[in-house]
Chain A
Amino acid sequence: MITFEGASKLYPDGTVAVDDLDLTVETGQTTVFVGPSGSGKTTSLRMVNRMVEPTGGSVLIDGQDVRRRDPAALRRSIGYVIQQAGLFPHRTVRDNIATVPLLLGWGRARARARAAELMELVGLEPSQARRYPHQLSGGQQQRVGVARALAADPPILLMDEPFSAVDPVVRAGLQDELLRLQEELHKTIVFVTHDIDEAVRLGDRIAVFRPGGRLAQYDSPERLLAAPRDAFVESFVGYDRGVRRLSFFPARELSLREDVVFGDDTGAGAATASMRGEPWALVVTGDRVPLGWVGAGQLARVPADTALGSLDLAPYGHTFAVDTDSLRAALDAAVLSPAGRAVGVDADGRVVGVVSQDDLGTALWSVTE
């Protein structure tokens, strides 16, 4: 547990970087510090490993003031990941990762064995062990940065905008990887970012900082999106927070319609009869693999015995996985579908049922209220 007790940082020129911060970071959770530049989030992070000394108040780790510990020893016991990775250019990937174990006097063989372990953990190929940082891509460099921070198995991991220098696709991959690692390792992570989406994605708790180094709100991501405390937080989390908040509600709670899903050998007349006024029906194969949408008007124009599979079908767009996706994915699928309906599938890609935008709207209303 990391506790900030009235921690402040006032620079000699009068700049207030952090103003009277009271906050508790829970053990084994990911806490994200988020805010615009100049809001003191990085400064606060660096108070934890004494890279910045508070000018007022204190920072405690498990009840002990960090100022009572030797800075170098303290830092070796805390993992640190920096923007752009900060890898040592003259050391191989393996030796970069082994940095802290070597500083702790582990001996080269043991440190390198540990480095190999970590490379596997963060998804790096063993063949990359003897490369130099400049031979790696940005995403790979950042993986090495994470591996290096974890090398001595520190209970606390500080991450200072670690993924902000890589492109969005790579960033999403690294975020997934971090979530997976955290599920396995349960570190106490403090993660700094200026990206609210990243914060919502990764954080168990989110601390929003406002300019002038003041804490604006400290809450779970759900609460933050549902009930921003003031206008600053509201504008910072963005005006689409309602939609983004749907990420927290599972799609499996939706009631899907099964009665407008027909096999491709069904006749047009039979389909029209069972649609009972629904404007769209989904046509699937015998294995319930989706084929496409057919409109009620189209069905009325063809002979009643025409098989649905032989008709010209509208594309079904992308589907959502009923068991694993969120309401946000379902809504997105419905919005993008030409029929205005989303197709829910199981883990094998077989159609479970469909849901219309109207039904989604009703569901959203009931779950988010």
Chain B
Amino acid sequence: MITETWDWIARVAEWGAANWSHPGDPDRGVLPRLAEHMRLSYLSILIGLALALPLGLACVRWKRLYPPVLTGVNVLYAVPSIALFFLMLPYTGFSDWTAVVPLALYTLVILLPNVVDGLRQVPDHVRQAAVAMGFGPLRRLVYVETPVAVPVIIAGLRVASVATISMVSVASLVGLGGLGRLILSDGFRRQFDAPIVIGIVLTVLLAFVTDAVLVIARRLLTPWARGSGGGGGLPRRRRRAAVPAGAGAAAGPEAADAERARHPAQTGTTAKERRPWTS
């Protein structure tokens, strides 16, 4: 039994080593898939954050904007990712954007509420003190509320990145998908388990490392919250920070954010079983 398991691991590792990269063909092998996976997921997360920040600031500034925007983002999230990838094809072809645009929009469902909650959770006495010191509304937002929101925003970023890293694989159905292509094309179609295992292991590792980087970033960015618990010194109300991350469930010692989550993309099913928002 032990010998068999060992043989199996050795066989998988051997396949991985043999197929790590092909100097003659830079698009073949495991390494190019990993690079593609990182490119697609990081680009999506960054674009999502770049959208969520101004959108969140606007939603806090103009309160009436938030309910319709949030509903819109939620409805968008309910569209199955596969459908969205195929819908993008006529416009973006087989470029990265076919995967990146839908994935970036999906991150909004986590990032936007976190940005808004983060900005809103500034304690009332702190906000009032800022007013009384003579901060105008804009200065208050930039110098007080946004910095105080950073731990909550990063908490959202952790969930969003783990979810995105996992979901990128689905894009292999439209010929993208990074490590997902190892699983789908090399693995399932050829009834061969080595690429599947390597694809899964690397996806989990990538999620783990990304999460760790975000934890470190949070510590560097918010020295003021250090020593007061894992996620910042403020009482946090992260009603929404828990969304999908099948692969991410194992990601990191501090992956409490992700633990409550499950992931729709891994099984290839649609978004229907995702957690409905009730706030």
Contacts and interface: CB of A to CB of B under 8 A. Distances in A.
Given A132-B224, A134-B233, A135-B227, A88 B135 contact: no
A73 interface: yes
Contacts of B129: 80, 82, 85-88, 145
A103 interface: yes
Contacts of A72: 134-136
Contacts of B148: 88-90
With most chain A CB atoms within 10 A of its CB, the pick from B125, B129, B228, B234 is: B129
A175 interface: no
Contact of B133 (A76, A83, A85, A134): A76
A89 B133 contact: no
Contact of A49 (B132, B136, B222): B132
A82 B135 contact: no
B125 A51 contact: no
Looking at chain B's contact residues, is the secondary structure mostly helix, strand, loop, or mixed?
A: helix
Contact of B126 (A51, A88, A103): A88
Contacts of A158: 132
Interface in A10-69: 49, 51
B144 interface: yes
B147 interface: yes
Nearest to A135: B227
Contacts of B131: 51, 75
Nearest to B143: A88
A106 to B, nearest CB: 13
Contact of A134 (B125, B130, B135, B228): B228
B224 A84 contact: no
B134 A51 contact: no
Given A85-B125, A88-B126, A134-B228, A51 B223 contact: no
A72 B126 CA distance: 16
Contacts of B228: 134
Contacts of A89: 126, 148, 224-225, 233-234
Contacts of A337: none
Interface of A: 49, 51, 71-76, 80, 82-92, 99-100, 103, 132-135, 145, 148, 158
Nearest 9 A/B pairs, CB to CB: A86-B129, A80-B132, A76-B134, A75-B134, A86-B125, A132-B224, A90-B147, A72-B134, A84-B125
